[in-house]
């Protein structure tokens, strides 16, 4: 219900994706709903957390996703952000298309824990939305004014993908780790996705046979033991899941290869890409111009 209210009230939808798994955090249900019921609304992809992956990964995903919607790389941080001028200017360009309205609303949608509230705080240069490194912190939608004409709407995390396994939901931070009854069931998913070299460095485990062996060794290293000196695998498994959800364990889904991309893209998509590149050139602005614009907006407010 909260999601549909945000979609209905928004002129522009910023779909926030986790750059480590953009396809897995895409809200295809929302895109389909907008296309069928309100095609006049604009959709923007914002690839957040780009500081957690190599630069070439972000660049490759932008190249792929730009065929569908305008895509911007972003790192949410009040003091040291990345991508803020580009997103700010793109919103101003879209605002220019709605001069007939008194103001426009920009809805921020996406999976739990992808950083919707953090991006709004970054744009505002202050903490105006509650944030946490766990899913479910935002309970209801809220309005935040960016300028006199642009209003931002923070939406609770959206999950509406059929066919997902429980492991997918847990590893996408849909479910809080501390609320999972049997955390051991999901450790194998972490071992399959994460680079084993990183796991060895973080948890000081040289080798392991399976998930039970890995968790057991980690529990001994962390001093998580139960009566008789046996490893407390349940508590340790929850720690591992919390580390995963909070980004302590590095990982990313490799972007598609260039050959695979070209096979999928048809001539129409190539035209869309060309038009997008022209639009990107049109909305580029220097840091000085951006700061002057922000200063001017601050004086008006």
Count how many Cα atoms sit within 13 Å of the Cα of residue 115 in the half-sphere of its side chain.
Answer: 26
pTM of the model as a whole: 0.77
* pLDDT tops 80 at residue 211: yes
What are 183-208's pLDDT values in tens digits? 899 999 999 999 899 999 999 998 99
* pLDDT tops 50 at residue 5: yes
End-to-end CA distance of the chain: 32
* pLDDT tops 60 at residue 138: no
pLDDT band at 162 (very low <50, low <70, confident <90, very high): low
Strands of the sheet containing 150-154, edge to edge, are: 71-73, 42-48, 12-18, 104-110, 150-154, 142-145
Count how many Cα atoms sit within 13 Å of the Cα of residue 51 in the half-sphere of its side chain.
Answer: 11
pLDDT at 297: 56
B/e letters for 247-263, b = 16+ CB within 10 Å, e = fewer, are: bebebbbebbeeeeeee
pLDDT band at 276 (very low <50, low <70, confident <90, very high): very low
Given a contact cutoff of 8 angstroms between Cβ atoms, the answer to whether 122 and 83 are in contact is no
Q: Which residue reads 């960016």 in tokens?
A: 146
């Amino acid at each position: 219900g909260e999601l549909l209210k945000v979609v209905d009230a928004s002129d522009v939808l910023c779909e926030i994706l986790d750059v480590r798994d953009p396809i897995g955090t895409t809200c295809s249900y929302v895109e389909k709903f907008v296309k069928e019921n309100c095609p006049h609304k604009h959709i923007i992809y914002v690839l957040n957390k780009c500081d957690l992956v190599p630069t070439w990964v972000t660049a490759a995903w932008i190249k792929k996703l730009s065929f569908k919607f305008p895509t911007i790389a972003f790192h949410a941080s009040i003091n040291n952000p990345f991508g803020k001028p580009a997103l700010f200017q793109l919103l101003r360009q879209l605002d220019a298309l709605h001069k007939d309205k008194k103001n426009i609303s920009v809805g921020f949608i996406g999976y739990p824990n992808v950083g919707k509230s953090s991006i709004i705080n970054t744009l505002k240069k202050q903490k105006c939305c509650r944030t946490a490194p766990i899913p479910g912190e935002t309970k209801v939608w809220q309005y935040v004014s960016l300028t006199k004409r642009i209003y931002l709407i923070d939406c609770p995390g959206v999950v509406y993908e059929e066919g997902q396994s429980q492991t997918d939901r847990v590893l996408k931070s849909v479910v809080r780790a501390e609320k999972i009854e049997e955390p051991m069931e999901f450790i194998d998913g972490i071992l399959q996705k994460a680079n084993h070299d990183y796991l060895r460095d973080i948890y000081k485990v040289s080798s392991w046979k399976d998930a039970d062996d890995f968790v057991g060794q980690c529990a001994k290293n962390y001093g998580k033991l139960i009566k008789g000196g046996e490893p407390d695998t349940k508590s340790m498994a929850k720690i591992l899941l919390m580390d995963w959800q909070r980004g302590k364990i590095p990982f990313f889904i490799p972007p598609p290869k260039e050959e695979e991309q070209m096979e999928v893209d048809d001539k129409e998509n190539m035209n869309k890409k060309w038009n997008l590149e022209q639009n990107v050139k049109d909305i580029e602005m220097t840091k000085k111009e951006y700061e002057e614009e922000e200063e001017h907006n601050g004086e008006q407010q």
